Amino acid sequence: MNKTEKTGAILTADRDWWRGAVIYQIYPRSFQDTNGDGIGDLKGITARLPHVAALGADAIWISPFFTSPMRDFGYDVSNYTDVDPIFGTLRDFDALIAEAHRLGLRVMIDLVLSHTSDQHPWFVESRSSRSNAKADWYVWADSKPDGTPPNNWLSIFGGSAWAWDPTRLQYYLHNFLTSQPDLNLHNPEVQDALLAVERFWLERGVDGFRLDTINFYFHDRELRDNPALAPERRNASTAPAVNPYNYQEHIYDKNRPENLDFLKRFRAVMDEFPAIAAVGEVGDSQRGLEIAGEYTSGGDKVQMCYAFEFLAPDPLTPERVAEVISDFKKVAPEGWACWAFANHDVVRHVSRWGSGVADHAGHAKLLASLLMSLRGSVCIYQGEELALPEAELAYEDLQDPYGIQFWPDFKGRDGCRTPMVWESLPDGGFSSAKPWLPIPADHLPQAVAIQEGDPASVLEHYRRFLHFRKAHPSLAKGDIEFVETRSPLLGFIRIHGNERLFCLFNMGEEPASADLPDGAVEPLDGHGFISDIKDSKINLPAWGAFFARLA
């Protein structure tokens, strides 16, 4: 009996469902609270799934809900096969799966395989001595003769990537918080244990995985120092500009070639089940697209990856979009990307790219349509469909250790993690208790209940455009060819089967025009934009777009 039969799901076993899929990311702490503790939970996700289904998404990705001390809010796992009590129970998760499938939504969960919490029983045993059964399950190393760390590797959260353990009299590796020790995937037993975790959730009915920090799984066995990175090559997409992490070229602490064989093992387990897919997060500022191509090539590793090109602070221009998409096609001719403009780790994109923009809603609609027209699959982050801006929080309200470490030059990730606003009430319809992060007053007028049913709203535009995308397979699965345009215009053609779809975007605050493509042009509606054609010219208003079927 296969998974869909076991859960009573209505989903078809389409192994290619992920190609061009729109995946809605849910940050469980901030989606919906049902038990009055100010923290979102699994029952809350289940109750709000109709919103995601009405939006038109194909799947949900749920950030970690596993047992955890929550020092990094679930990305520090202490039990991979249970639900943290603040989120509910395994029974609640089973109910979530059943309801999602009933609504036609697939469920992807966030697996954090590069590291665990220091409270995980594996690490507790590993640090107890140098001779226990799990002594080699984490990355341990002796100090240099002078007692300093084994090499120059740095943590993304600041400082050395090595922490001293007084019991073993050795250092252990942590690419993130000191309470997040890195697993040693060079050990086959560790790989087997992680594949058992994968199998546990597949047997429970999940449809796939988002793989956190997928390029961090392996380290250099020789622990060689990373070389310095020239200042002109530094990029603040993986870590904020104030973090010296950006001063190194990370060729030895991540991005190791051994990862390819492990990903093949991971894929082999997925392939034992019908219609399973994975998307990997590639955190690397220099080689992100290239690595994403390696990890998605050949049909024997993960299906999709996303790098940080569109999550970085760099301005979004027509030239930048064309460059990123074209570069990915060059380095990954067999690969498949999953693009996102926002997630739980970066400043919300309408704020990141919209400083000074007068037409907030128009800008948000244009960005949404552009994202959902690019070649690749798409991730949408909760609240994005409402055009929620980044929240400005006081220092005393911060929860994120990353922000607390680098405040005020880097304010952390709390500003994009504030609770979802369902209603225009002080609590946003999120919780009957004080929420774990404050809800900004300027978010309340953009609540779901306010925007729903208003054809001019950003929410209804997302719904409309997702329907438009489903009606035109070239937008989801087609190839892409860029056409010559002048900034602020961006134009390309999406091609799938007999359909050739011309897409033109005005990425500026002033009207702009372009020549009609040669040959027969059939303008399309249903996407929410109004344009004018006169004298073989397409005239677009600020933040406008035009779509047409070509002969």
CA angle 445, 33, 118 (to 5 degrees): 120
Task: Give all strands of the β-sheet with 170-173 in edge-to-edge order.
Answer: 140-141, 170-173, 162-165
Say how far apart CA 243 and CA 234 lie, in whole Å. Answer: 11
Choosing from 198, 212, 284, 290, which is the catalytic residue?
A: 212
212 catalytic, yes or no? yes
Q: DSSP string spanning 113-144? A: -SB--TTSHHHHHHTT-SSSTTTTSB-EEPPP
Say how far apart CA 484 and CA 477 lie, in whole Å. Answer: 22
Tell me the chain's radius of gyration from C-alpha atoms.
Answer: 23
Q: Are strands 521-523 and 545-550 parallel, antiparallel or unpaired?
A: antiparallel
How does DSSP classify residue 317? -
The 3 state secondary structure assigned to 217-258 is CCCCCCCCCCCECCHHHCCCCCCCCCCHHHHECCCCCCCCCC
Backbone angles phi, psi at 97, to 5 degrees: -60, -45
Choosing from 142, 272, 300, 454, which is the catalytic residue?
A: 272
How does DSSP classify residue 526? S
399 Cβ contact list (under 8 Å, min separation 6): 73, 414, 436, 437
How does DSSP classify residue 362? H
Q: What is the three-class DSSP state of 399?
A: coil
Q: What is the three-class DSSP state of 153?
A: coil
Cβ atoms of residues 215 and 257 within 8 Å: no
Residue that is written with structure tokens 């090559």 in the block: 233
> What are the C-alpha distances in Å from 254 to residues 114, 129, 138, 249, 452?
10, 26, 15, 10, 44
334 catalytic, yes or no? no
Residues with active-site annotation: 212, 272
